[in-house]
Amino acid sequence: MSHKLRFAALLLAALALGAANAPVPPVGPADMVLGRPDAPVTVIEYGSLTCPHCAVFDQAIFPRLKTEWIDTGRIRFVFRDYPRDRVDLLAFQLAHCGGNHFFWALLDRLYQSQAVWSHQPNPADDLVRLGELAGLPEAKTRACLADQSLARASAASLQGGDRAGVDGTPSFFLNGRKVIPWSYEDWQKLLSEPAGRQ
pLDDT score for 104: 95
CA distances from 175 to 46, 61, 74, 78, 165 (A): 14, 19, 12, 11, 15
- Do you know the residue count of the chain? 198
Which of 106, 92, 96 has its CA nearest to residue 47?
Answer: 92
Q: Which domain holds residue 62?
A: 3-42+52-171
Q: Could you read off the pLDDT tens digit of each residue along the chain, which spans 198 residues?
A: 444 444 444 444 443 333 333 333 366 788 999 999 999 999 999 999 999 999 999 999 999 999 999 999 999 999 999 999 999 999 999 999 988 879 999 999 999 999 999 998 889 999 999 999 999 999 999 999 999 999 999 999 999 999 999 999 999 999 999 999 999 999 999 999 875 554
Looking at the domain assignment, is residue 134 inside a domain?
yes
Looking at the domain assignment, is residue 184 inside a domain?
no
pLDDT score for 23: 32
Q: Say which DSSP state 13 is in.
A: H
Looking at the domain assignment, is residue 29 inside a domain?
yes
pLDDT score for 19: 37
Q: Which residues make beta-bridge pairs with 42?
A: 76
Looking at the domain assignment, is residue 14 inside a domain?
yes
Looking at the domain assignment, is residue 21 inside a domain?
yes
Name 33's Cβ contacts closer than 8 Å, sequence gap at least 6: 76, 77, 78, 79, 100
Looking at the domain assignment, is residue 190 inside a domain?
no
Looking at the domain assignment, is residue 115 inside a domain?
yes
pLDDT score for 156: 93
Q: Give the CATH number of the domain where residue 59 resides.
A: 3.40.30.10
CB of 185 closer than 8 Å to CB of 57:
no
* CA separation for the pair 94, 100 (Å, rounded): 12
Looking at the domain assignment, is residue 179 inside a domain?
no
* CA separation for the pair 180, 173 (Å, rounded): 9
Q: How many domains does the chain have?
A: 1
